[in-house]
Every structure is written in C-alpha cells, then in structure tokens.
Amino acid sequence: MKKSLLILLSLAVGFTAQAQKVPLNIIPQPVEIIELSGVFTLNKSSVITFNKAEGRATAEMLAQKISMPTGFSLKVQEGKNGAIQLNINDVPNEKIGKEGYTFESNAKGVNISANTSAGLFYGIQTLVQLLPKEIEGKELAKTAWTIPAVKITDYPRFAWRGVMFDVSRNFFSKEDVKKYIDQLARMKYNTFHWHLTDDEGWRIEIKSLPKLTQVGAFRVPRSGHFGDRAIPKEGEAATEGGFYTHEDIKEVVRYAQERNVTIVPEIDVPGHSMAAIAAYPELSCNKNPKTFVNPGASIADWYGNGTFKVLYENTLNPSDEKVYEFLDKVFTEVAALFPNQYIHVGGDECYKGFWAADEGCQELMRKLKIHHVEDLQGYFMNRLEKILKAKGKKLIGWDEILEGGISPEATVMSWRGIKGGIEAAKLGHDVVMTPTTFAYIDYNQGDNTVDPPIYAGLRVSKSYSFEPVPDGVEAKYILGGQANLWTEQIPNLRYAEYMSYPRVWALADVYWSPKASKNWENFSKRMEAQFDRADLAQVNYSRAVYDAIVKTTLKNNKLSLELGSELSDLDIYYSIDDTMPDNFSTKYSKIVELPEGAITLRVITYRKDKPIGHLITLKRAELEKRATKQ
C-alpha cells in the first residue's frame, strides 16, 4: 500500500513539474539555453541584491518594472543573498564579453552574472520575458509570478544593433522618443540613430544659429499623402513642427544611457538641407530667400534608373567657406551634446545639378583639378571629417560618402542594398548593414490593399532572413546592422510602433543571436507570444504576418493565381464569385487558373476554424497589374 502511494506521489510530482514547463519565448534568442525542472515563484518578500555599486541602477529598474503588475514593492539592497541576485563578475568571463550575461534560475531564486552593468541590464530583460505575460500590463494582475528553471549563457553576435528614427518628416515629442528607446532596449538594441535634420524640418537647437529652429523647425500645415501636398502659399504661416532644446537632448541622452543605448545623431548634409537653407539661404548656390521648409510636397523628379532632379534647392554650396563655418558651429554644439564617438552626416541623395550650374563650384573644381561635379561631394565630406575630428568625433554616413573618396577612418552605413557595404568593407571601412531590402521598416508589411501604400514592401519573414555579413567579406569589418524608420507616412508614435513591430523583433534576433540558431518556425512562435505581451503593454504592432500572400502569373494570356502565407499553420480560403469567403468557401491547395471576365478575388486566412487575417480584395485589373509574365 505504501509502495503504491509512493508511486502515485512520484507520478503526481512528475506530472506537476512537466505541466509547469512553458515555452521559452525570448527575443532575441539566447546563445545557449538549458531548460531545467521546477520554477521560482516571486512574492512580495523577495529581495533583489547587487554585489557592486554599478549594479544598483539595474536592480532598481527591475524592481520598478515588477512593481506595477505584481503590486510587490521589492526591496533592493547590496549583497549576495537575494532571491534575485545581480552580480558583476570579479574575474571577467571572456566568453560573454562586455554585453553578455549568464542566467540561472531554480526553485530558490535567480542569479544573473555579467562582466558589466550592460550585461546585467540585458539579463533582466530576459528575466522579464520569462515571467508571465501579465508582467507587461499597466494594472495589478492576479497570477502566479513564476520563472521557469533555466540555465542561460548569452552574448551578442554584433556590436552595433541599431534602429534609426526619423523625426524630421514628422516631429515626435521627447516623451515619445524616450518611450520608443525603452521598447528597443528591451529587445537588446544598443544604438539609437536619431535622424534630426532633413528637408522637412530641423529638430535640434543650435544656440549660435537660432534661425535653424526659429525658421527651420516649422512648416506650413498640410494633410494628405506625403509627396502629394501643395507647396506653401505666399505669406502662409509655418505653424507645424517642433524641435529639441539642449536640455531636451541631454534628458533623452541620459535616459538612453540608463538603458545602455548609445544615441548617434544625424545632421544630414550636404543634400537634404532644405530646412537649413530656408533659415539661412546664403548657404546655398542660388541663395533664394523664398526657400521653404518642405511640408511634404514633391520637390524632385525621380527617374526609373535611380537618378533624379531636385526642383527646389536643398543642397549646401561646397565652394563657399561660410558653409564650413556654419558646419563648424553646428557640430561644435552637437558634439558637446552627444558623448558617443560617432556623428552621422548623411551624405545621401545629394543632387549635384545646382553645383554644376554654379560658377563658384566650377572654380573650385578647376582649383582642385577635378573634372566631375560628383567629386565635389568627396571634397565636402573630407572637409567635414576634419571638423568632426577636431571635436574628437568619428564620421559615419550613408554609402554615397564613398563617391569622390573618403578617408579609411570613416564608417559606412550601407542602405542601397548590400553592394555599398561590400565595397566599403573591401576598402577597409567599418560598415553597418542596413539595406532597403531587409531593414527599411517604413515599407509595407503586407498587401498594399490593406496597409496605406508607400515605396515598397518588406515582410517580417524577409527581415528575419537577413544575413549582415555577405559572402566574401571579412566579418571584422561588419560592425552590425540597423533597421531604419523613415516617417514620411508616420504621423504619431502609435503608428511608428505599428510599422516597427514585429520587424524590429525579427532584426533583434538577426543582430544578437547566433547565425546557426536562425529558424523561422521557432521565431514565429516567439513572435506570436510577443503579440500577447504587446497587447498588455499597449504597444501597437502589425498583424500582416497572418494575411495571405497573393501572387499572379500571366502565361499565354492566361492568368494564374498562387496564394501563400508566412505562417505554415494557416488555412487560406478564397472566392471569385462575389461572395464573402469564410472557412466553408474554396480552400486553396494549388495554383488556380482564373477564368476570364471581370472577376473579383477575395481571400482570407483562418487558423483552427477561426478567421485570423485581413480580408484581401482584388479586382481583375489589379491581379493583372501585379502578374509576372512567363
């Protein structure tokens, strides 16, 4: 009888331990993770300890994060005996480097160890993701606050893990910027590239040049699609915009530093300078006093081969010494506000037509014995690099800075695909890979009939497939990668979140996790778990991953339909008979030859007999328009 009871008891214990195991949906995926038996249960008496003073801020941040949904005011103190221990290693662990950590949890508690406070910070991000999803909520939640027993060794693949945020096309308050930085830090991003100036607005106070913000930070109000808006009328007041004061900048920089995020400011020159020229017309070739801050009008004609012509001057004059005096003033103040080593100088999409027509520029070319106006950009960038070096800063710019020559010390950000990055790396430049094809998160995530259309599309699965180190390139030159969020069509933080996630989560895996761990099926499950957490955190995200992918081909005047999805467990239903499809409609299983006539395709996805994706509706003309010819 006793033996039978013991057997039943052991079976019950085994069943409980097994039942307590939950999927470990951590993003980014840790390097090594071993699941153990049991759980640690957090309670109001749990204590967080740190063994060295530099761990205190991280411990307090963790206590604050936990307090709202749990209702626990956890004590934070120096020592080594807390239920949650945050320890800086006395002897550095070479394997985990500066940003890595080890994590061990069992029934007694949690121990996170790292070589630096940055490693501890990333360790607590993992701890939070191991807690129940209710930890993300804004209200008190009743649940068992358990952490599964695991052993983790984790460290990043790349040193540069960044996201660029454009605040020129649309202005975002400092509180919005801080909130966005906080979200990035939780995914172990360490670089925030802050695009502060462009044709549509100058967003940083320069005390020695007050008109940059008095004039350059504001534009006439306009609504409608970016690129289709009207230019300012004569005498129309510029009332829309904003800028960051020096104190604002310092506050955001401190906030980012507390979360181990480095801010790289961008002052985009010599092109994309319309807002600066509106403030100081004398900086341009034509010196037009009617230059305006662009409200989102079309200011250039773009041609199919990638070339373009700018209709309203937006380029600084490289032959005018006053331009370099201006830049010295700007970068003196920028360098003082941002303590990191890099300043981004743009250098992209610089139209040379105004230079070609300017006598001063032609005289400079004769003096320099150069024959191509494009080489003036190399001259400009080399002058600019000397200004930055004098202030103890390193130049980084978009891949166009390679045109006309740049010093080997300059760092190149490859955006026009990976070609510029490959070229730069082979020349010995450090490179950050951020190609449009994988990392431009202002592009549509799903079908253009669902999301507002913009330049191109980029699905989360494509972002996840990105490999930042191209074949044939020495990995030592690839600092890492970055996602870029241009905000032409993004007017507020809620929509910035929608465009960022889940692609920023996918790229977090790309930039942090080992290349060998990449697995779309595994990531997609972790991504969906993050959807639930984002809902509780009131963070917006796109659900385009649940939508059908519609492709058509045209062969011998016959139109064929191919449907697919990014997730493997979705069922796709469609109709072409002017009925609304559901899970009793035709289920897609193979390529369909569509009948002739004015049909309308309607497609929807289901999971386990429940609708999950958007309804996609396409008339025949649209199906033909998107068809590939065979």
* Distance (Å, whole) CA 141 – CA 136: 10
CA distance 458 to 443: 6
Same domain membership, residue 555 and residue 494: no
Residue 7 domain-assigned (yes or no) = no
Q: Give the pLDDT band of residue 4 (cuts 50, 70, 90).
A: very low
Same domain, 229 and 252: yes
Q: Does the pLDDT at position 443 exceed 50?
A: yes
For residue 558, list its beta bridge partners: 555
CA–CA separation, 327 vs 323, rounded Å? Answer: 6
> Exposure string (b/e) for 408-437, b if CB count within 10 Å is 16 or more?
eebbbbbbbebebbbbbbeeebbbbbbbbb
Q: Residue 15 — pLDDT band, cuts 50, 70, 90? A: very low
What residues form DSSP beta bridges with 342?
Answer: 394
Judgement on whether residues 135 and 180 belong to the same structural domain of the protein: no
**Domain end among 123, 154, 185:** 154
Distance from C-alpha of 410 to C-alpha of 413, rounded to nearest angstrom: 10
Strand 47-50 relative to strand 75-78: parallel, antiparallel, unpaired? parallel
Nearest to 368 by CA among 405, 399, 397, 396: 405
For 577, the token pair is: 């008979």
With beta carbons less than 8 A apart as the criterion, state whether 259 and 182 touch. Answer: yes
In-domain check, residue 17: no
Q: Determine the pLDDT at residue 403.
A: 82
Question: Is the bond preceding residue 28 a cis peptide, omega within 30 degrees?
Answer: yes
Q: Three-class SS string for 111-123? A: EEEECCHHHHHHH
What CATH number does the domain containing 128 carry?
3.30.379.10
The HSE-up count of residue 542 (CA atoms within 13 Å, CB side) is 28
Whether residue 409 is contained in a domain is answered as yes
- CATH number, domain of 331, equals 3.20.20.80
Q: Are 287 and 281 in contact (CB under 8 A)?
A: yes
3-state secondary structure of 556: coil
Mean pLDDT of 210-235: 95
Q: Return the CATH number at 589.
A: 2.60.40
In this prediction, residue 303 has a pLDDT band, given cuts at 50, 70 and 90, of confident
588 shares a domain with 532: no
Q: What percent of the chain has pLDDT over 70?
A: 97
My answer on whether 132 and 229 are in the same domain is no
Cβ atoms of 117 and 54 within 8 Å: the answer is yes
Same-domain pairing of 441 and 512: yes
Residue 11 has pLDDT above 70, yes or no: no
Q: Which residues of 498-532 are buried (b: 16+ CB within 10 A; e: fewer)?
A: bbbbbbbbbbbbbbbbeeebbebeebbebbebbbe
- Looking at the structure, do residues 282 and 426 belong to the same domain, yes or no? yes
The alpha carbons of the chain give a radius of gyration, in whole angstroms, of 27
- Res 2: pLDDT: 41
- Render pLDDT for 421-441 as a digit per residue (tens, 0 to 9): 999 999 999 999 999 999 999
Q: Out of 528, 544, 560, pick the residue that ends a domain.
A: 544
The answer to the question of residue 498 being in a domain is: yes
Instruction: Give the C-alpha separation, 440 to 423, whole Å.
Output: 21
271 with 380, same domain: the answer is yes
Residue 1's pLDDT is what? 40
Confidence band, pLDDT 50/70/90 cuts, at residue 407: confident
Question: Under 8 Å CB-to-CB from 359, ≥6 apart: which residues?
Answer: none
| Overall number of domains in the chain | 3
Measured in degrees and rounded to the nearest 5, phi and psi for residue 367 equal -65, -40
> How many residues would you count in the chain?
630
- Looking at the predicted structure, is the pLDDT value of residue 484 above 50? yes
Residue 212 belongs to a domain: yes
How far is 311 from 317, CA to CA, in rounded Å?
A: 16
Answer yes or no: do 534 and 609 share one domain.
Answer: no
Lowest mean pLDDT among 299-313, 422-436, 580-594, 597-611: 299-313
DSSP 370-382: ---TTHHHHHHHH
Whether 9 shows a pLDDT value over 50: the answer reads: no
Mean pLDDT score, 307-331: 96
Q: Are residues 219 and 351 in the same domain?
A: yes
- Residue 1 in any domain: the answer is no
As a whole number, the mean pLDDT across the chain is 94
Q: Would you say residue 20 has pLDDT above 60?
A: no
Residue 549, pLDDT above cutoff 60 = yes
Nearest CA to 350 among 321, 315, 322?
315
Give residues with Cβ within 8 angstroms of 457, minimum separation 6: 443, 444, 445, 446, 448
Last residue of a domain, one of 517, 544, 571: 544
Task: Return the active site residues.
Answer: 349
Residue ranges with strand state E in 421-487: 431-433, 478-485
Pair (141, 259) in one structural domain: no
CA 499-468-385 angle, to 5 degrees, is 90
Could you tell me the residue range of the domain that residue 83 belongs to? 22-154
Tens digit of each residue's pLDDT (9 = 90 or more) over 151-207: 999 999 999 999 999 999 999 999 999 999 999 999 999 999 999 999 999 999 999
User: Whose structure tokens read 């309308």?
Assistant: 600
Q: Say which amino acid occupies 514.
A: P
pLDDT at 21: 60
Give first-to-last CA distance, the chain, whole Å. Answer: 76
Which 3 state secondary structure label does DSSP give 71?
coil
Strands 600-607 and 628-629: unpaired
* pLDDT at 147 > cutoff 70: yes
Task: Kindly state whether residue 14 falls inside one of the protein's structural domains.
Answer: no
> Which class for 254: exposed (0-12), middle (13-18), buried (19 or more C-beta within 10 A)?
exposed
Taking only the tens place, the pLDDT of each residue in 244-276 is 999 999 999 999 999 999 999 999 999 999 999
Mean pLDDT computed over 490-513:
98
Residue 3 belongs to some domain of the structure? no
Same domain, 262 and 373: yes
